[in-house]
Structure 1
């Protein structure tokens, strides 16, 4: 589809603070400019007076439209008969289609009415864009949803579940068609609202507070210290602000559990890729005596680590340092650390439910490129780990290239390391590797491997 991406004559993005105007402004930034959805949406909310209900509506429209982008674009086939010369039109069409198809409580006439208002609001002076939008949406309502023929399974699943065909093919090749269908269906379900209760507080009392405040908490099936909530908003609560809990997916919190912390000894731990600091804080909570050095390549991101550490009351045990983890072996002394965590930069394929734009921005080549970075980090951090020390490697990806293949290649390069079985509060790995799939329990996909350096 040939679209003009920017026109100087267009109006500036609307200053209206309605939920749908903010949704459209955010989607223009994400779909047309390549901005991150969470950052753009959060910035929009800061400058608005939207009620919680309207924020929830805007969030659902934005994330739903991004999540189903490929499916929604397919619905426009045969309906566009003119060049779309204003860049707001495509995002407006997609978010309107999302509401018509997926938000059953919103009448079609209300979606059309709002689309017309937004087209006039965001369009150029004397623009006929609202007529184009209105005509296309009415044509869709008359025609209905379309899908490719089911005999082309890859294309059918790609459009139906709104996942690029290369990724569908990749999953089918590695997991089979039935598991692929299960995963693709699961990643289009809403992400859980999860929190991890600090190990420094009384978990039973915090759980009761969550009940009293209407969050309808449930203990996690994966971990003893994680709780799922019925709805969001916990980031504005006193429990969060006072550091009694933090927002963290239950699968992500399993990573630090893989370590065997020794409360009788001084522990020096390196978190090689620490930002935004959720796992750094969790490590610090487990130290009776010792400290954590938190690295990140970006100085700016380390401020998030420091802020999280302060809020969670472990700032005295955490030191931040801007550093490329691939240089850790040259910066730190040999045998300096008792434990090292590498929560490596990855494709994020385990987060497709929570970060829907990932499905459209990653490629098969990325998996191979990231593997090189991951191995370089592991090679480097293997130097400052002491003998009999523990090295935990994790990713929020479910690809073979970033996980099992990385482990295999690392062990081939470093014969002094072996995989070490580990037990978590509710799970265990007898092989030293554990992969959590996104269709298992509605959680994020994660991979954990634990190495021990021979004495």
Structure 2
């Protein structure tokens, strides 16, 4: 295969790894772009092609219905067809003849059998451009929504069951919007000055509708700035950054972050402390390196200690009633992140939600004895599934009657029940769930 690197060849290479080999899109794409020497515009195009193709995979596959009449043997062909179809239906500024020409070049570049792959790709794409878009009948509403919004049918059924058809259509459409470039401003520096500096260097910042310490930027590239390198801000979704604010912190507490990596919430808690400390756990020692690096960059490393521990066994490593505050930002299905990590929709199954619920409850059971009387426990997930959110809360309270939900009020949102679920279409953020417990004295 030729080593010519263009936006489309890098996108195709990434899609082969994601769709055929099961790699993670963000890791594969970042690795591909790192040494590509592409212009920023071409990097943006490669990113759009990768995420757009994965996001609309079900829709795009449906467009080839009846057009693929031979068995596809080379693994680059289907990703190439899907990527080309994405451009045909979603990139209006690129003429179809240019898309087909680029697809033909890539077929020659990636194919072991140049002529057969080229002819197959060329023939199918020409037939697609002649026929145009097809969709299931709207009378079959679930199938129609599944294809239109490119969501597996089980997820469509799940959302309709829990939120009704109208809200489901809104949620699924929001998942297919572009993810925001959200950053959290450090509380250890002058946030107004940081905001003004972001304006000066061309990021057109706007304050989040969820909090005043979160800012939405007009474009990416913030990690290359001095503001990022010097710890004035960090990349964090606006919904995720609410979690640390739920705690009542005076500054001298001992805090446990049971599932810490990559450390965004650990660092945010550490910023609120003066004499206190945060112990950050993660099952993977390698990931704790990220926590330490981020803590160093954000200027809170002296308040953060890391420990490679499976949170389900935390009770074996720490004393009873050792901590004033505990955060369990639990491993979850990530169904709130479908805008940011589109491949999740294809890898998760309904059974996963219950399997994860067991892990989440095991973690909560393990850390519950470690909390001091009158202490606070916050449970959070980046999913919106009932099984991993409300059901976990209900079952935890049944097992631990000495805990109770505690209402909380944040700057721009509040919860009278002690539980807050942010759906992705409410603020254009990640979907998120937060529950706050207090241990009775």
Is TM (by shorter chain) over 0.5?
A: yes
Offset at residue 330 of structure 1 (A): 1.7
Counterpart for residue 80 of structure 2: 92
Counterpart for residue 44 of structure 1: 32
TM-score when scaled to structure 2? 0.99
8 Å CA contact 1:161–1:188 kept in 2: the answer is yes
Matches within 5 A, 1:280-295: 280-295=266-281
RMSD: 0.8
Give the Cα–Cα distance (whole angstroms) in 1 for the partners of residues 36 and 28 of structure 2: 13
User: Which of 165, 168, 173 is residue 180 of structure 1 equivalent to?
Assistant: 168
User: Which of 161, 186, 189 is residue 177 of structure 2 equivalent to?
Assistant: 189
Question: Alpha-carbon deviations, 1:198-229, whole Å to 9, x = none?
Answer: 00010000000010111110011101200001
Matches within 5 A, 1:94-173: 94-173=82-161
Give the Cα–Cα distance (whole angstroms) in 1 for the partners of residues 269 and 341 of structure 2: 25
Offset at residue 151 of structure 1 (A): 0.8
Give the Cα–Cα distance (whole angstroms) in 2 for the partners of residues 146 and 63 of structure 1: 22
Counterpart for residue 423 of structure 1: 409
- Segments of 5+ residues of structure 1 without an aligned counterpart are 1-10
Matches within 5 A, 1:332-347: 332-347=318-333
Q: Secondary structure at the match of 1:439?
A: helix
User: Which of 11, 14, 22 is residue 26 of structure 1 equivalent to?
Assistant: 14
Matches within 5 A, 1:12-411: 14-263=2-251, 266-411=252-397
Give the Cα–Cα distance (whole angstroms) in 2 for the partners of residues 426 and 151 of structure 1: 41
Offset at residue 15 of structure 1 (A): 2.1
Offset at residue 81 of structure 1 (A): 1.1
8 Å CA contact 1:16–1:22 kept in 2: the answer is no
Give the Cα–Cα distance (whole angstroms) in 2 for the partners of residues 106 and 441 of structure 1: 31
Give the Cα–Cα distance (whole angstroms) in 2 for the partners of residues 345 and 426 of structure 1: 26
Q: Which moved more, 1:126-135 or 1:142-151?
A: 126-135
Counterpart for residue 3 of structure 1: none
8 Å CA contact 2:107–2:114 kept in 1: the answer is no
8 Å CA contact 2:186–2:231 kept in 1: the answer is yes
Give the Cα–Cα distance (whole angstroms) in 2 for the partners of residues 92 and 241 of structure 1: 37
Question: Alpha-carbon deviations, 1:412-450, whole Å to 9, x = none?
Answer: 000110000111111111110000010001110000000
Counterpart for residue 6 of structure 1: none
Question: Alpha-carbon deviations, 1:11-67, whole Å to 9, x = none?
Answer: 4xx422110000000000000000000000000011210111100000000000000
TM-score when scaled to structure 1? 0.96
Give the Cα–Cα distance (whole angstroms) in 1 for the partners of residues 77 and 223 of structure 2: 34
Structure-2 change in CA distance of 1:81 and 1:333 (3 Å)? same
Give the Cα–Cα distance (whole angstroms) in 1 for the partners of residues 147 and 413 of structure 2: 35
8 Å CA contact 2:16–2:76 kept in 1: the answer is yes
Offset at residue 257 of structure 1 (A): 0.5
Offset at residue 126 of structure 1 (A): 4.2
Q: Secondary structure at the match of 2:427?
A: coil
Give the Cα–Cα distance (whole angstroms) in 2 for the partners of residues 235 and 440 of structure 1: 28
8 Å CA contact 1:350–1:438 kept in 2: the answer is yes
Give the Cα–Cα distance (whole angstroms) in 1 for the partners of residues 299 and 98 of structure 2: 48
Give the Cα–Cα distance (whole angstroms) in 1 for the partners of residues 278 and 5 of structure 2: 43
Moved over 6 A (4+): none
Question: Alpha-carbon deviations, 1:158-199, whole Å to 9, x = none?
Answer: 000000000000000111111101101111011111000000
Q: Secondary structure at the match of 2:425?
A: coil
Matches within 5 A, 1:439-450: 439-450=425-436
Counterpart for residue 424 of structure 2: 438
How many residue pairs are counted as aligned between the two chains? 441
